[in-house]
Chain A
């Protein structure tokens, strides 16, 4: 029977001791530990979240990076193409210019030649005229009495002379 009869003395001490233990542990024991552990839990959760965000950011940055490389490549290709175009243009325009110049020079040469030819013809004509005059002089000296025959003769002579084809030589 003594087993199931509460004992006053033990109860007395139990009340005091358990109250003390509870007071001490509830004030300086468990709340300190649990609040710290909860704080750490929050910290770990925060850290995990931040790490995840950083990872996300890193992944985005890698994407950005490759995109930038791609862009640079495209830019490079564009620039190279532009350079080669410019080169082609330059060459083409230089050729054009050269051709123009050449044709201009040729044209100049032609005009010059034509002028030279003209002057040469004129010279020759003059000479021929001189010769003719001298021939005429001689003729006149010989037969200048008859006026009619003299005129006839002169016309004929002039026509003959002017019909000479210089281009033939």
Chain B
């Protein structure tokens, strides 16, 4: 529990630091916009808009901007798949360069900024049913394939070798300690009896979060998508954990929720405690969702803010930029290392908390 407290304090610290950084950065840019045009997120006037730049990086988009060479953007146009009022539309997002295509366009402001929208009869922007392969979806595909391949290569080693005669080599030797740490320390330690049933889900969750966290830190193409810092992803993972916690909960667990052992007047006529308990059953996965989301997003924002500091100070001359670059790079290295740590810790925390909650739902 002490470790947990430490992690919570750390994440709170990270969030607060990034907030102050982002705040400071946006204040700076509001006052003095800087003319740097080699960064995505530049505005029409060629001035850097730090919040927009950052939110572009951590958000989702219909193209994957890789880099910019000279004036030319190198970006991957991703397929748009949407069902609007006029039926299914499948086309490349490159079509949007020339304005609306088949009645669809990317909203430039308002409620659905950056999302594909269409105009309804009243002239309001409405969202079609949009399952486009966005940057995050593509990253999801790639990281999932990578994870499956890695684990299956590892599993193949065990199928092809006699474990009683050989020690694992290569990838299997790398993965085995981590898999066994989750399997026997986290899952077995937290759930106890009958832990085998939960082990595949918790192992999958751990490695899936870990690989996406790590890919998120890589600043260029196959990585860089902010997947685990996306509320949709963490929401789904939290739902999975919610199901795992409640699906096989035993009699005691449900009794403790609907008829907890408290004085009767706390339950009848106003079911005060049951309401609190039911609420807490939902807050547990909610905390899982927010913790992972906030930590990963904060890490991305913090790193991007540090990089932007260089461009914000560009107008103060070479000496200032040089000094700030030096400081920023130092901080950047520190933050990258910290993010590596956070990537592992957050995957671990998500898994161990899920395991503990599952263990609580099965207490005798």
Chain B residues with CB under 8 A of A94: none
* Inter-chain contact A30/B183, CB cutoff 8 Å: yes
CB of A63 closer than 8 Å to a CB of B: no
Q: Which applies to chain B's interface (DSSP): helix, strand, loop or mixed?
A: helix
Residues facing A in B216-262 (CB within 8 A) are 230-233, 235-237, 240
* Inter-chain contact B204/A21, CB cutoff 8 Å: yes
* Inter-chain contact A30/B179, CB cutoff 8 Å: yes
A14-57: contact bitstring with B at CB < 8 Å (1 yes, 0 no)?
11011011101110111111101101100100000000000000
- Per the CB 8 Å criterion, the residue count for chain B at the interface is 53
Of A2, A3, A13, A26, which one neighbours B140 at CB under 8 angstroms?
Answer: A13
CB of B96 closer than 8 Å to a CB of A: no
Q: Which applies to chain A's interface (DSSP): helix, strand, loop or mixed?
A: helix
Name A's B-contacting residues (CB within 8 A): 2-15, 17-18, 20-22, 24-26, 28-34, 36-37, 39-40, 43
**Can you list 28 A-B contacts with CB-CB less than 8 angstroms, sorted by A residue number?**
A2-B55, A3-B59, A8-B127, A8-B129, A9-B130, A9-B131, A9-B132, A10-B60, A10-B134, A10-B230, A11-B235, A13-B133, A13-B137, A21-B144, A21-B204, A21-B208, A22-B204, A25-B203, A25-B204, A26-B200, A29-B155, A29-B200, A29-B204, A30-B203, A32-B155, A34-B199, A36-B158, A37-B158
Question: CA A11 – CA B155 in complex, angstroms?
Answer: 29
* Inter-chain contact A10/B152, CB cutoff 8 Å: no
Of B59, B144, B199, B231, which one neighbours A17 at CB under 8 angstroms?
Answer: B144
* Inter-chain contact A18/B236, CB cutoff 8 Å: yes
* Inter-chain contact A2/B114, CB cutoff 8 Å: yes
* Inter-chain contact A33/B130, CB cutoff 8 Å: no
* Chain B, residue nearest A19 (CB): B240
